[in-house]
Structure 1
Amino acid sequence: MEHEIVFLDRESVGADVRKANFPHNYTEYQSTWTPEDIVERLKDASIAIINKVPMREEVLKQLPKLKLIAVAATGTDVVDKAYCKANGITVVNIRGYAFNTVPEHVIALMFALRRNLLAYIEDTRNGRWAEVDQFCFFDHPIRDIAGSTMGVVGYGAIGKAVAKRAECLGMKILPYDVFPQEGLVDLDTVLKESDVITLHCPLTPETANMIGEKELKMMKPTSILINTARGGLVDEAALAEALKAGTIAGAGFDVLTTEPPKDGNILLDLKMPNFIVTPHVAWASREAMQILADQLMDNIDAFVAGNPQNVVE
């Protein structure tokens, strides 16, 4: 059997994608957005490669030849997994590739916010330094990392990698996860006692908006919230109000509920130096993307060989 492989959003992976180790035809598109385009481009495909292209029931039921959806990412919330399971479509994802890049992004956001770097850079560029009578100015609080407490919400591989780096910086770790593990604390403890809270959960019906107005008010007014996981984990309107009201000291986000934010987003309207937003690039170091691309093809080869790996149920 010669497989038809179609990559619907090739521009989402900035790395070399090697050829599959079996007879196949390969087609790639830089981006694909509409359901009509998805169906047309996958009508003869047995293997679909996607990153963030939505694969819902109304699309999938029009693709009877499709046998494998290879997701070029860890998160699979864009795929109707229940439909796939019921109709014999295997879904596989990428695991363990962002073990350096995401933790490093988290640490970078933490330092920038705890030391108010953006505020000081902005003030210096606007001439504030020249206005003072001494050698420096202290308009924005600077807080140490060493001796502070980090709450890690979602204590899987990435959460543990972040915690390991934070411990090296002299931080105390409060880990929380919905899956039982030794040494975990409850979410209320994380919210009340942490100086930095970093989110590393999948987006599920249970975790959607898990950080809302109530949870933000439980945090210290000096604490910061970092989200490099999924935008839907946080109630964005509640976060905007918390930042404006000074309920928390700052936030660093790499994700939004809708990406790209074509119709705007309440968080993008914030013109505050204590809020940093980056365009979903925490995962995207060159090294990590190549690991991802290699594992993507390993997953496809394994499936065709009859030994599927990294299967998502």
Structure 2
Amino acid sequence: MKAVFLDQDTFSTQVSLKRIAKQVTALKCYQQTQASQVVERSLDAEVLITNKVVLDNKILAQLPKLKLICISATGINNIDLLAAQQHHIAVTNVSGYAKQSVAQYVFAQLLNYFSQPNHHIANVTHGQWQQSTSFCLHGNGSSELAGKTIGIIGYGSLGQAVAQIAHAFGMKVMISERPNAAMVRTNRKSFNQVIREADILTLHCPQTPATENLIDAQVLSEMKSSAVLINTARGALVNEQDLLTALKQNDIAYAILDVLSEEPPKANHLLLQNQPKNLAITGHIAWASIEAQQRLLDLVGDNIAAFKQGQTTNRVDL
């Protein structure tokens, strides 16, 4: 089977494609592929690997040799699944590869915010400790995670990994039920209770029509003024204008975003052009430890192997 990787540049150069290459007769990799280039580059492919390149009905109709699309991510919104079914093209994705990476990112950011190590290092670098009249230079101080309440919205493998670490820090964990749910499941709390009581609110749910703009002005107004919001899921979960207003008005204390509604964002993106001091933004890297990237690509290789054997492992088109 001939395979084409349409956007290899979405991964680090430090990871290996050996497990994928082992499953195909030929593997052609492109760093990035524009929409106008997809058909030409994919004509001979029986397997297409894509992270973010869109494959719609118009494109799939022109690829008669294509048998399998491997999404090198969990999200499937860049593939027209109905069209894939109509053209008898199997589609797989991968999941569960980034739980350690995302959980580590969440707590790296929380420790940075509550312990402020860079601030305390700078105090010594700039000679302030050396001039202190006391043995201890408090500076901005620090605050413990122990005893704080972390509200988790989305309790799949990522949310569960965050909860596990939170328990180790001695935190109170609240798992949110879906908004407007008729019944609150065992070991969960209502969405409204979670947003009101959480010291830290962390998002790990998928983007769906029901979750778009989940965090809006109303939700932000009900959160504690000392609360921290973390989004490592999808940018569209948060209404960015509402968040900017809330931060500027100190309706919440701090926000940490690893995702935005547009990626990569334009230079004049609302939150970048007007970024307040109580907002930290990183470039969608919470998932991307080297180990997580390697697990993901190895799972793509496993999906190809399973398909060749007639198995339906990780199929999303069925």
Please give the TM-score of this superposition, normalised by the length of structure 2.
Answer: 0.87
Distance change (3 Å), C-alpha of 1:126 and 1:209: farther
In 2, Cα distance between the equivalents of 1:128 and 1:48? 57
- 1:312 is the counterpart of 2:313: no
Query: Which residue number corresponds to residue 171 of structure 2?
Result: 171
- Give 1:68-83 correspondences, 5 Å limit: 68-83=68-83
In 2, Cα distance between the equivalents of 1:77 and 1:112? 33
Would the aligned equivalents of 1:4 and 1:24 in 2 still touch at CA under 8 Å?
yes
Distance change (3 Å), C-alpha of 1:124 and 1:21: closer
Would the aligned equivalents of 1:150 and 1:195 in 2 still touch at CA under 8 Å?
yes
More deviation, 153-162/36-45 = 36-45
Secondary structure of residue in 2 paired with 1:69: strand
**Residue type matched to 2:109 in 1?**
L
Distance change (3 Å), C-alpha of 1:238 and 1:127: farther
Distance change (3 Å), C-alpha of 1:222 and 1:312: same
**Residue type matched to 1:201 in 2?**
C
Q: Select which of 244, 247, 250 maps to 2:248.
A: 244
Q: How many residues align?
A: 309
Query: Which residue number corresponds to residue 295 of structure 1?
Result: 299
More deviation, 38-47/244-253 = 38-47
Structure 1 residue 41: deviation in Å?
1.2
Distance change (3 Å), C-alpha of 1:39 and 1:132: farther
- CA shift digits 1:131-168 (9 cap, x unpaired): 99876465x57432100000000001110010010011
Distance change (3 Å), C-alpha of 1:77 and 1:128: farther
Structure 1 residue 127: deviation in Å?
8.7
Structure 1 residue 38: deviation in Å?
1.5
In 2, Cα distance between the equivalents of 1:157 and 1:110? 20
Would the aligned equivalents of 1:20 and 1:300 in 2 still touch at CA under 8 Å?
no
Would the aligned equivalents of 2:23 and 2:301 in 1 still touch at CA under 8 Å?
no
Would the aligned equivalents of 1:21 and 1:301 in 2 still touch at CA under 8 Å?
no
Would the aligned equivalents of 2:2 and 2:24 in 1 still touch at CA under 8 Å?
no
Query: Which residue number corresponds to residue 30 of structure 1?
Result: 31
Would the aligned equivalents of 1:113 and 1:274 in 2 still touch at CA under 8 Å?
no
Secondary structure of residue in 1 paired with 2:174: strand
Structure 1 residue 129: deviation in Å?
7.8
In 2, Cα distance between the equivalents of 1:280 and 1:99? 14
- 1:211 is the counterpart of 2:215: yes
Q: Which runs of 5+ in 2 are unaligned?
A: none
Query: Which residue number corresponds to residue 284 of structure 1?
Result: 288
Distance change (3 Å), C-alpha of 1:194 and 1:262: same
Q: Which runs of 5+ in 1 are unaligned?
A: none
Would the aligned equivalents of 1:118 and 1:273 in 2 still touch at CA under 8 Å?
no
Query: Which residue number corresponds to residue 101 of structure 1?
Result: 101
Query: Which residue number corresponds to residue 40 of structure 1?
Result: 40
